[in-house]
Amino acid sequence: MIFRDYIDSPCGLRFILDQLQLMSSCGRKRLLSKELITSEDEREKCYSQLKETFKTLYGNPSPQISATLASVKHKLMCLRDIEGTLLRLKGKVVLDDIDLFEIKYLALLNNAVREDIRILNISGFELNDLEDVVSILDPDGVKAEGFYVYDAYSKELANIRKELKGLKISASKGMAEVSATSDRELELLGKEKLLEVQIREELSDKLRAYSTLLLDSLNTLSDLDILLAKSLMIKSLGFCFPKVSSDGTTIYKGMFHPYIVYLYRENASGGKEKEFTPIDIDFSLESISIIGANMGGKTVVLKMLALNQLLFQFGFGVAAHSATIDIKEGVEICIEKQEDMTSGYSSFASEVKSIDKVIQRALAGERILAVVDEPARTTNPIEGTALVGALLNILKQRNISLILTTHYNVKGNYFRRFRVNGLKDGKMDYMLKETTEEDVPHEAINVARSLDVNKEWIELAQRELGNNKK
């Protein structure tokens, strides 16, 4: 799957895209089409380059490095998406003046950034030399950004334009008959247009040999835009460089969700910012249940796990103090599925279909991460408990890391349990701890009471709970 496939998942990847300071539309388009990294070699190459770039740009950079970085970003702001033009060039279409201008501009921009990259010294990041392309489109060698069919392309064209200019001067001085001048001018203009068409055909033929090189340069410049934006994001959001797991175990220390941290910062009142509680968690290829009080942050944990797995496998820094992450073949996110009225499915049916996809991938032997938020929560507790227990059971000892949240009492020792610490002295403790307790916490009434809602409602609920225990 590609980046675009995950962008509207509820884990928060769109926030990452919105915060990523890309300079060009090309960079955004290129990122959206990036494949999930599943190869260890590709992952190593990606992070090695990112680490080196981050160190160069933000590890006490010299004034020259800072100035060069600013120059590169300014140039990338001018990068145009001319993929369509280049594909038409490959398809043997004769380009017009605008097309030729776009190619010339790309070649000049590429060569300028190429010189800057040498100063930044980003290893493994090479831009093609497009000087031959510039020479084709800049026969006078002035390096001007604009383009038209220059006189230098044809002596005949130069002579026609010279004569046309002379005729215009003569006409303006009244030195020639108007009708004669007009006839000759029309003849010359026709020849000029014909020669220009022939020259555009010749230029298109010459440039066609460089079409693949030009496309590669466009993609490389887009990748540079992405690389620089990723580096800045690590600095601005406090991300870390993850390690790759050698034994299938994923370990997070101080995991956080950047969007929630951002909201806390934006909604700070009186200069006091609410603090996000970082989470520690580890898991392997196994089934895990997270239990705990309402408002205990269980769903947020799932979103963090999914988001960080995606960040890791798209080559970003990770939202944690430190992380060691197992490479997966895919990420399945079953959170907050809304009822789709056009599909004919109820919310329960949509949820079941999503979970069935997880099961099918697991049974096919795929190494995936699946996060499932309160499965079967919309059905009765007896059947819901059975469905959750069966899900944890069927996926045990598979090539899958399944983490789900639930309020059901699922019995058995074939999965691990984590519990949110819950209310302590009237405040919610979001930290997780591993537990062997099979009963889920009974804290809903206490949580509701802490929200300062109707007291009679809460007291009646407490009385009902007492009666049910008799």
Where are the domain boundaries for CATH 3.40.50.300 in the chain? 239-439
pLDDT in tens, 158-167: 999 998 888 8
Neighbours of 115 (CB within 10 A): 11
pLDDT at 341: 40
Q: Is the pLDDT of residue 13 over 80?
A: yes
Question: pLDDT at residue 138 above 90?
Answer: yes
CB under 8 Å, gap of 24 or more: what pairs does 40-49 form? Answer: 40/244, 40/327, 43/244, 43/313, 43/315, 43/327, 44/244, 45/124, 46/315, 47/241, 47/242, 47/315, 48/124, 49/122, 49/123, 49/124, 49/125, 49/227
User: What distance in Å separates the CA atoms of residue 179 and residue 185, rounded to the nearest whole number?
Assistant: 10
* Greatest pairwise CA separation for the chain in angstroms: 118
Mean pLDDT score, 336-348: 57
Q: Domain 239-439 classified CATH 2.40.70.10?
A: no
Residue 180 pLDDT > 60, yes or no?
Answer: no
Do 26 and 240 contact (CB within 8 A), yes or no?
A: no
237 or 413, which is more confident: 237
| Banded pLDDT at 208 (limits 50, 70, 90) | very high
Q: How far apart are CA 202 and CA 222, in angstroms?
A: 29
pLDDT at position 451, please? Answer: 66
Q: What pLDDT, in 10s, does the model give residues 390-440?
A: 999 999 889 999 999 998 888 888 899 998 887 676 676 778 888 877 666
- The pairing of beta strand 416-424 with beta strand 287-291: parallel
Region 216-237: what's the mean pLDDT? Answer: 96
Give the pLDDT confidence of 15-67 residue by residue, as tens digits: 999 999 999 999 999 999 999 999 999 999 999 999 999 999 998 889 999 99
**pLDDT at 179 (0 to 100):** 53
Give 211's pLDDT tier (boundaries 50, 70, 90).
Answer: very high
* Residue range 122-128: mean pLDDT, rounded: 82
Mean pLDDT of the chain: 88
Predicted local distance difference test score (pLDDT) of residue 342: 43
Mean pLDDT, rounded, for 270-280:
81
pLDDT greater than 90 at residue 101: yes
Question: What are residue 253's DSSP bridge partners?
Answer: 322
Give the whole-number percent of the chain exceeding pLDDT 90. Answer: 64
Does domain 3-148+205-228 match CATH 2.60.120.10? Answer: no
Q: Tell whether the model's pLDDT for residue 449 goes beyond 70.
A: no
Residue with the bigger pLDDT between 459 and 371: it is 371
pLDDT over 90 at 337, yes or no? no
Q: In this model, does residue 295 exceed pLDDT 70?
A: no
Binning pLDDT at 50, 70 and 90, where does residue 192 land? very high
Least confident of 121-125, 283-287, 447-451: 447-451
**pLDDT level of residue 266 (50, 70, 90 thresholds):** confident
Ranges of CATH 1.10.1420.10 domains, the chain: 3-148+205-228
Task: Report pTM.
Answer: 0.88
Strands (E), 286-352: 287-291, 322-325, 330-334
DSSP classification of residue 186:
H
